[in-house]
Structure 1
Amino acid sequence: MRIIRLNEVINRTGLGKTSLYKFIKAKTFPQPIALGERAVGWVEAEVDQWITARVNERDLSKINTFPE
């Protein structure tokens, strides 16, 4: 298991810090884990799963959209 820090999460997702924390608060993004008193990180696999789910949602919406 690999833990990634905020900068890597931002780079992987393309989200800004404010948007990222908005998703975390809404519980629609993997929750960070405490690494110390003032440090947090995310489980890499959970972030990757979140990204994959966004791609799958996009792909499903293309399949379910019929040309007029």
Structure 2
Amino acid sequence: MPSGLRILRGEDVYGKEGRTGCSRSQWYRHIAEGRAPPGFMISPQARGWLEHDIDAWIIARVEKGGIDKAPPATPEPYASMVGHNGGPPMKRRRGRPRKNATPPGVFGGPAEGGA
């Protein structure tokens, strides 16, 4: 282009060979959150970005020190292993689950000490 502007297509911006190092889904997530330049439609099915916009975005990320990430959520310890009615953690059985998982004496299961 005579003006020195270059239009980058998706494969030049994201992906393995892209300038940003983002995957396609990650790049569009940045756009949806307002953290990346949205680009413009160069045809009904193709989006393009100006090269200097992408370069400015990369430089801004380097100066900022990367992406703002929320700290990972800290789950309560053993939250998934709490027993019935908030009791102590249940032991997990090894192997495949049983076909009839009802405890003895509940809902027609064999009762303990049965005849």
Q: TM-score, normalised by structure 1?
A: 0.80
Q: Percent identity?
A: 34
Give the alignment of 1:1-68 within 5 angstroms.
Answer: 1-10=5-14, 11-58=18-65
What is the count of residue pairs matched by the alignment?
A: 58
Q: 1:57 Cα shift?
A: 1.1
User: Structure 2 stretches of 5 or more lacking a match?
Assistant: 66-115
Q: Which has the higher contact order (CA 8 A, sep 6+)?
A: 1
Aligned structure 1 segments of 4 or more residues deviating by more than 2 angstroms: none
Q: TM-score, normalised by structure 2?
A: 0.49
1:13 aligns to what SS in structure 2? Answer: coil
Q: 1:32 Cα shift?
A: 1.7
Larger of the two Rg values belongs to structure: 2
Higher helix proportion, which one? 1
Instruction: Work out the CA distance in 1 between the residues paired with 2:53 and 2:39.
Output: 10
Opposite residue 27 of structure 1, the aligned amino acid is: G
2:59 aligns to what SS in structure 1? Answer: helix
